[in-house]
A and B are shown apart, each in its own frame.
Chain A
Amino acid sequence: MNNLTQEEKDVVLDFYFRCGDDERIRKGRDLIASDSGAAELYASLEQTLGQMDQVKYEPCPDNLVDITIARLNLAVSAEKVRNEDPLQSAGGENENYSNKVYTGKKWWNNISDLAAVAAVLLAVMSFAFPSLGKMRQLARQNECQSRQRNIAAGISGFVNDNGSLLSSIGETEDGTRAWKNSYPWELVKGGYVKPDNFLCPGRKDGQKIDIPEADYAKYDDFPSRRNMTYSFVVHCRVRANKPLSANDALLVDRNPVFEEYDINKNQNGKLSITDQMTKIMSTNHGGRGQNLLLGDGSVTFMRGRYHMGDDIFTIRGKLIYDLLRGEVPCDENDIFLAP
């Protein structure tokens, strides 16, 4: 086959990969049929590269399509809401958010962000060989994001079936049931989300539900707080029935503020917010930050507590929380995820 000219070799290769135009493919077919060297080259290629055919074709799993469609639906509904929302379309500080669909957070929007990214890169480079422990942390962080996306898919399914957007776990008539996880539990009861998805893999104290699936309907909440290691959004009453938008915070790794409350200290259900409580991150990922699920189905790992300029773990201006009655934010700009 070395007797072939370079052009002839190219033609055979193009024919093998079907990479050339129709004319070239026809030329390759004719050459192989008429020249033993060309036929030998084709056979050699087939003998070697043809082994790749043993890697069988894998069809796409159905659940991946469902999750993808669910995320698309969330993105579509978020965009619709944004386009219809006069507050957002009027511009102001939310203008940047109103012009595009967020499929992932772009964190290099300006020079200061770029400088921050450069600093992070330098820090990463200085740890060229991260420890196994760090790799495990990253794996848990990624798995946590995957579970939150599964919950987003379940929310989308719930919304489609029930014709209503996300209600609020803080929405109650008398305030006594505030913060109960009845809404997330509805996702489990209705079969929209498998209960294990509500367990962050970064926590050791999470427990799988140990009741039979047939008994789920008998419960109106997770049997134990340990069965749900995330915190859901708590809306103010005015905001509760407003449609979902792309940047709405839906769910986050467990709020660390309430882990400071010691039920055995007879505090009468009152929790005083200390300065330290306003700084700590979720314990789900060792206090390094938290995964936050947004209205468009995307998940972002926050290294701070502020989303859209607001601390997601506290109610603005409130220093003592009544945990027995529950607390809700006073207005729709106050983002709060609990308990």
Chain B
Amino acid sequence: MLLAKEDMKKADPTSNKPSDSELLDRYRAGDQDAFRDIVERYKNPLYSFLRRFLNRHDLVEDVFQETFLQLYSSRDKFDSNKALHPWLFTIAANKAKDALRKQQRNSSLSLGAIADSGGVSVDDVVNLLDSYKITPDEEVSNAETADMVRAIIANMPVNLRGILILAYFEQFSYKQMAEILSIPIGTVKSRLHTAILHFTKRWNEANRGSNAE
């Protein structure tokens, strides 16, 4: 994985950077530079999340801007004792889903339906992984692998795509994901299992396809 969550959580004792709540407090007191600091602090993780989730530049840029505008207009509702990171992603995830819904209304192209995630257990995940003994294909370059992965993620149903990105790339906890997606923790786990099954099946199909060529 790209970055262990423990590494992300570790506070840097040498850093003098203000905390999120300090920045928001400063901002509420009229310091506009504090909001710029917040944008600078979260621009890369947020952009990266949206790029993976939406996979379309125009939508990504719109949702990115709308997320920070929403953060601004809701600044007084934020509880300083809570972490800003999941709140920001809650806004972004909702805005991204709205954008996809809007796009779906305007387009006859399927963007991936909402997949039913009920009844999938960790046993199903293990059984599937056990049945697929994937042999890494040395001939496939990293760039080709990245293209295959991007295509699989882009074609995943929206709810599975969201949970996989939040869990794998953003490494949110179950509790945080439940808050971000407004669903119970049990549903988060079940949906994540379904997302793993989905990805594994599609990856295996794609891998067999590339080996056959």
Q: Could you tell me which A residues sit within 8 Å of B by CB distance?
A: 1-2, 4, 6, 9-10, 13-14, 16-21, 25, 41, 44-61, 64-65, 67-69, 71-73, 75-76, 100-101, 103-104, 121, 124, 128-130, 135, 138, 142-143, 146, 149
Nearest B residue to A103 via CB reads B69
Stretch of B11-19, B77-85, B112-120, B192-200 with 4 or more beta carbons under 8 angstroms from chain A: B192-200
Nearest A residue to B52 via CB reads A55
Q: Tell me the complex Cα distance, A46–B143, Å.
A: 18
Q: Tell me the complex Cα distance, A281–B35, Å.
A: 39
B22 within 8 Å of A (CB atoms): no
Q: In the assembled complex, how far is the CB of residue A14 from the closest CB belonging to chain B, in whole angstroms?
A: 8
- 6 closest Cβ pairs, A-B complex: A60-B47, A18-B5, A54-B146, A103-B69, A60-B43, A44-B129
* A6-B146 in contact (CB<8A): no
- Given A9-B123, A41-B126, A72-B35, A47 and B1 contact (CB-CB distance below 8 Å): no
Please count the residue pairs between chain A and chain B whose beta carbons lie under 8 angstroms apart in the complex. Answer: 159
Q: In the assembled complex, how far is the CB of residue B137 from the closest CB belonging to chain A, in whole angstroms?
A: 11
- Given A60-B47, A75-B69, A17 and B127 contact (CB-CB distance below 8 Å): no
Nearest A residue to B73 via CB reads A101
Q: Tell me the complex Cα distance, A50–B200, Å.
A: 11
In the complex, chain B residues whose CB is within 8 Å of the CB of A20: 173-174
Question: What are 8 inter-chain pairs, A to B, with CB distance below 8 A?
Answer: A9-B123, A18-B1, A25-B5, A51-B149, A71-B69, A72-B39, A124-B105, A130-B107
Identify A2's interface contact among B32, B36, B58, B127, CB under 8 A.
Answer: B127
In the complex, chain A residues whose CB is within 8 Å of the CB of B23: none
Q: Could you tell me which B residues sit within 8 Å of A by CB distance?
A: 1-2, 4-6, 32, 35-36, 39-40, 43-44, 46-48, 51-52, 58, 61-62, 64-66, 68-70, 72-73, 105-108, 121-123, 125-127, 129-130, 132, 134, 136, 142-143, 145-146, 148-150, 153, 167-169, 171-174, 177, 192, 196, 199-200, 203
- Given A55-B150, A58-B47, A65-B43, A103 and B73 contact (CB-CB distance below 8 Å): yes
Not counting A2-B130, A65-B40, a sample of 18 additional A-B residue pairs whose C-beta atoms are within 8 angstroms of each other reads A6-B123, A13-B125, A17-B171, A19-B167, A48-B196, A48-B200, A48-B203, A51-B145, A52-B199, A53-B1, A55-B149, A59-B48, A64-B43, A64-B65, A65-B39, A72-B72, A101-B73, A128-B108
Q: Tell me the complex Cα distance, A4–B46, Å.
A: 37
In the complex, chain B residues whose CB is within 8 Å of the CB of A13: 122, 125, 192
* A67-B73 in contact (CB<8A): no
Q: In the assembled complex, how far is the CB of residue A67 from the closest CB belonging to chain B, in whole angstroms?
A: 6
* A45-B2 in contact (CB<8A): no
Nearest A residue to B207 via CB reads A51
Nearest B residue to A143 via CB reads B58
Nearest B residue to A43 via CB reads B129
In the complex, chain B residues whose CB is within 8 Å of the CB of A128: 108
In the complex, chain B residues whose CB is within 8 Å of the CB of A59: 44, 47-48
In the complex, chain B residues whose CB is within 8 Å of the CB of A69: 36, 39
* B168-A52 in contact (CB<8A): yes
In the complex, chain A residues whose CB is within 8 Å of the CB of B73: 75, 100-101, 103
Q: In the assembled complex, how far is the CB of residue A291 from the closest CB belonging to chain B, in whole angstroms?
A: 14
* A64-B61 in contact (CB<8A): yes
Q: Tell me the complex Cα distance, A124–B104, Å.
A: 11
- Given A52-B168, A57-B2, A100-B73, A41 and B129 contact (CB-CB distance below 8 Å): yes
Identify B145's interface contact among A18, A54, A130, CB under 8 A.
Answer: A54
Q: Tell me the complex Cα distance, A124–B107, Å.
A: 10
Q: In the assembled complex, how far is the CB of residue B82 from the closest CB belonging to chain A, in whole angstroms?
A: 17
In the complex, chain A residues whose CB is within 8 Å of the CB of B36: 69
* A9-B122 in contact (CB<8A): yes
Q: In the assembled complex, how far is the CB of residue A161 from the closest CB belonging to chain B, in whole angstroms?
A: 16
- Given A59-B47, A128-B108, A52 and B149 contact (CB-CB distance below 8 Å): yes
In the complex, chain A residues whose CB is within 8 Å of the CB of B6: 18, 25
* A146-B146 in contact (CB<8A): no
Identify B64's interface contact among A21, A52, A60, A121, CB under 8 A.
Answer: A60
Q: Tell me the complex Cα distance, A135–B52, Å.
A: 24
Q: Tell me the complex Cα distance, A322–B2, Å.
A: 66
Q: In the assembled complex, how far is the CB of residue B201 from the closest CB belonging to chain A, in whole angstroms?
A: 10
Q: In the assembled complex, how far is the CB of residue B14 from the closest CB belonging to chain A, in whole angstroms?
A: 23
Q: Tell me the complex Cα distance, A48–B202, Å.
A: 10
Q: Tell me the complex Cα distance, A20–B127, Å.
A: 22
* B172-A19 in contact (CB<8A): yes
In the complex, chain A residues whose CB is within 8 Å of the CB of B146: 54-56
In the complex, chain B residues whose CB is within 8 Å of the CB of A14: 174
* A104-B58 in contact (CB<8A): no
* A104-B48 in contact (CB<8A): no
Q: In the assembled complex, how far is the CB of residue A103 from the closest CB belonging to chain B, in whole angstroms?
A: 4
Q: Tell me the complex Cα distance, A21–B174, Å.
A: 9
Q: Tell me the complex Cα distance, A54–B141, Å.
A: 10
Nearest B residue to A41 via CB reads B126
Nearest B residue to A130 via CB reads B108
Nearest A residue to B7 via CB reads A18
Q: Tell me the complex Cα distance, A242–B52, Å.
A: 43
